[in-house]
Structure 1
Amino acid sequence: MIIREASFLSSNTQVAACPAPDRPEYAFIGRSNVGKSSLINMLTGRLGLAKTSSTPGKTQVINHFNINNEWYLVDLPGYGYAKVSKSSRADWGKMINAYLTKRENLTCVCVLLDSRHAPQAVDLEFMEKLGEAGVPFIMIFTKTDKQSTSQTKALLADYLTKMGETWDELPRHFVTSAETGLGRDEVLDFITEINRQVAADAASA
Structure 2
Amino acid sequence: MNFNQVSFVDSVFSLQRLPEPLYPEIAFAGRSNVGKSSLINKLINRKNLVKTSSKPGKTRSLNFFEVKEQLYLVDLPGYGFAQVNKQMRLDWEELISGYLLERETLACVVVIIDLRHALKATDREMLDWLQYNNIPALPIYTKADKLSKNQQSKQAAALDAALNIAPADRLIFSAKTDLGCEELRNRLAVYCQHETVEEEPPRQDSGTGA
- Give the TM-score band, short-chain normalised: over 0.9
1:180-199 maps to which residues of 2 (within 5 A)?
A: 180-199=177-196
- Structure 1 range deviating more: 154-163 or 24-33: 154-163
Matches within 5 A, 1:95-114: 95-114=95-114
Contact 1:26-1:107 within 8 A present in 2 as well: yes
Q: What one-letter code is carried by the residue in structure 1 that aligns with 2:158?
A: D
Identity %: 41
Q: For the structure 1 residues 204 and 90, does the alpha-carbon distance in structure 2 shift closer, same or farther, using more than 3 Å as the test? A: closer
The answer as to whether partners of 1:25 and 1:106 remain within 8 angstroms in 2 is yes
Query: Does the 8 Å CA contact 2:4/2:45 hold for their aligned counterparts?
Result: no
Would you say the 8 A contact 1:5–1:69 is kept in 2?
A: no
Q: How many residues align?
A: 202
- Could you list the per-position Cα deviations for residues 126-173 of structure 1 after superposition, in whole angstroms to 9, with x for gaps in the alignment? 111111111111101110001111111111101111122xx7x88821
Task: Tell me how far apart the structure 2 counterparts of residues 82 and 61 of structure 1 sit (CA, whole Å).
Answer: 17
Answer with 1 or 2: which has the greater Rg: 2
How many Å separate the matches in 2 of 1:200 and 1:133? Answer: 21
Unmatched segments (≥5 aa) in structure 2: 203-210
What residue ranges of structure 1 are gaps of 5+ in the alignment?
Answer: none
1:88 matched residue in structure 2: 88
Cα distance in 2, alignment partners of residues 130 and 201 from structure 1? 20
Q: C-alpha displacement at 1:204, in angstroms?
A: 6.5
8 Å contact kept, 1:6–1:46: no
CA contact (8 A) 2:109 2:136 kept: yes
SS of alignment partner, residue 177 of structure 2: coil
Change (3 A) 1:170 1:143: closer
TM-score norm. by structure 1 comes to 0.93
Write the distance in 2 (CA, Å) between the matches of 1:7 and 1:56. 25
Partner of 1:175: 172
Cα distance in 1, alignment partners of residues 201 and 186 from structure 2: 23
Query: In structure 2, what is the Cα distance between the partners aligned to 1:196 and 1:101?
Result: 21
Supply the RMSD in Å over aligned alpha carbons: 1.7
Do the aligned residues in 1 keep the contact of 2:24 with 2:196 (CA within 8 Å)?
A: no
Q: 1:171–1:95: structure 2 CA closer, same or farther, 3 Å change rule?
A: farther
Question: Given the superposition, is the C-alpha separation of residues 59 and 82 from structure 1 closer, same or farther in structure 2, using an over 3 Å criterion?
Answer: farther
C-alpha separation between the residues in 2 aligned to 1:29 and 1:145?
A: 20
Q: Within 5 A, what are the aligned runs for 1:7-18? A: 7-18=7-18
Does the residue aligned with 1:74 lie in a helix, a strand or coil?
strand
